Chain A
Amino acid sequence: MSKMLQKMKSGREEINRELQESGSLNLAARSRETGYGIPEGYFDTFSQAVQQKISAETRQAPSLVTRHFNLRTVVSMAATFVLLIGLGISFMLLRQGKEEGFLGEFDDHLYDEYFARVTQFDRTMLYDLIFEQETGLPETKTAIESDDDYLFDYLLDAAQYYGIEPTELITQNGIDNQR
């Protein structure tokens, strides 16, 4: 048996042993088939597809001069500037009014991050930024995840904060699993 196969086998055995120890016999017994399929010969042409994408992106990349004097860029910058002013005023008003609700949860860190990033502003960044901020809020508010998962994440964070080894959170049928 090749070294590679031996290594894979021992890895699988270790994982199965771990599953059995935690009482997960179903998963331990299963093959690792996911059931997901792909078109025939998909990986034969994959690297070609990557090369085409790279070539397409290289062709599309505008020259430095074009980039500086591109009308679309100028319009985008102007729109961003107006948006910045608008947002700045809105933020100031919201802060003054001791705001409530979702916007009220925006903090100084967010403003800094927003203005630091705004030079490269685009829609995706705004989505990301809002999402980051949103996930900073207690997620239970919309029951985004089950209570169990929320509690688990909270415990992980807390364990890290207090310097407790996270594996101490693992229990087997209510009994501490640590040896």
Chain B
Amino acid sequence: MAHYSDDELLKRFKESENPGYAFDLIVRKYQEQVYWHIRRLVICHEDASDLAQDVFVKAWKALPDFRADSGLFTWLYRIATNEALSFLKRKKMRYFLPMVDIEQQLSDSLETDAYFTGNEIEKKIQQAILTLPEKQRVVFNLRYYDEMKYEEMSKILGTSEGALKASYHHAVKKIEKIMTS
């Protein structure tokens, strides 16, 4: 697949007679990043798959009005983060479970998930990450796994770089403590 810049893709989407083709290229370009970002938050493959598809459905609906104030990448990550967090929020509300139980449920699902193939250490890291509050979990994942710069994260999450650094630092300390205990 030819590698198009975001600007080129947006131009093709808005100006082409076949926006579906340009959109398909956008999906293919970002599908993996969006999926993995969501998967690390909701854990279950089926949920992550549904939500990742929803992100692109929402993007399809909103793209004609997208003004590119923020980059396409930032925008998609923002939708993905909101979708994942809203999903977890709805899950809590629907089952009236306190937050601790949901995190525990996610952690337990690692044991039974057919698509979790990690070793014991990888499982321990994931379980440690699941002890973090959601916001810290998002920050940790974006920095540690997506290797994102604070500046980019700040655009996605609407939080100052300083606050993100502090959150990440706090999350790292907590995970490290669990890993060494």
Check B126 against A35 for contact (C-beta < 8 Å).
yes
Q: Cβ of A19: which chain B residues have Cβ within 8 Å of it?
A: 172
Q: Cβ of B169: which chain A residues have Cβ within 8 Å of it?
A: 22, 170, 177
Check A50 against B123 for contact (C-beta < 8 Å).
no
Q: A15-B143, A127-B93, A166-B166 are in contact. Are A50 and B98 (CB under 8 A)?
A: no
**CA A169 to CA B160, docked complex, whole Å:** 14
Say yes or no: is B31 at the interface (Cβ < 8 Å to chain A): yes
Q: A36-B116, A153-B133, A166-B160 are in contact. Are A50 and B143 (CB under 8 A)?
A: no
- The segment from A24-32, A74-82, A92-100 that touches chain B is A24-32
- The A contact surface, by secondary structure, is helix
Check A50 against B56 for contact (C-beta < 8 Å).
yes
Say yes or no: is B11 at the interface (Cβ < 8 Å to chain A): no
Check B99 against A144 for contact (C-beta < 8 Å).
yes
Check A46 against B31 for contact (C-beta < 8 Å).
yes
- Which A residue's beta carbon lies closest to that of B129? A34
Check A54 against B57 for contact (C-beta < 8 Å).
yes
**CA A57 to CA B54, docked complex, whole Å:** 11
Q: Cβ of A143: which chain B residues have Cβ within 8 Å of it?
A: 100
**CA A83 to CA B119, docked complex, whole Å:** 52
Check B90 against A127 for contact (C-beta < 8 Å).
yes
A-B interface contact total, Cβ < 8 Å: 146
**CA A144 to CA B86, docked complex, whole Å:** 17
Q: Which range contains the number of A residues in contact with the other chain?
A: 35 or more
Q: A37-B116, A38-B115 are in contact. Are A170 and B166 (CB under 8 A)?
A: yes
Chain B: residues with Cβ within 8 Å of the partner, total of 63
Check B98 against A142 for contact (C-beta < 8 Å).
yes
Q: A26-B176, A128-B89 are in contact. Are A15 and B162 (CB under 8 A)?
A: no
Say yes or no: is B145 at the interface (Cβ < 8 Å to chain A): yes
Check B176 against A50 for contact (C-beta < 8 Å).
no
Residues 91-129 of A, flagged 1 when their CB comes within 8 A of B and 0 if not, give: 000000000000000000000000000000000100110
Q: Cβ of B45: which chain A residues have Cβ within 8 Å of it?
A: 36-39
Q: Cβ of B99: which chain A residues have Cβ within 8 Å of it?
A: 144-145
The 8 closest A-B pairs by CB, nearest first: A35-B118, A35-B122, A166-B162, A127-B93, A47-B27, A37-B115, A166-B166, A24-B176
Give 12 pairs: A residue, B residue, CB < 8 Å, sorted on A.
A24-B173, A32-B145, A34-B36, A34-B125, A39-B45, A43-B31, A50-B56, A128-B90, A128-B93, A149-B136, A153-B135, A166-B162
- Where the two chains meet, the residues of A that have a C-beta atom closer than 8 Å to any C-beta of B are 8, 11-12, 15, 19, 22-27, 30, 32-39, 42-43, 46-47, 49-51, 53-54, 57, 124, 127-128, 130-131, 142-145, 148-149, 152-153, 156, 159-160, 165-167, 169-170, 177
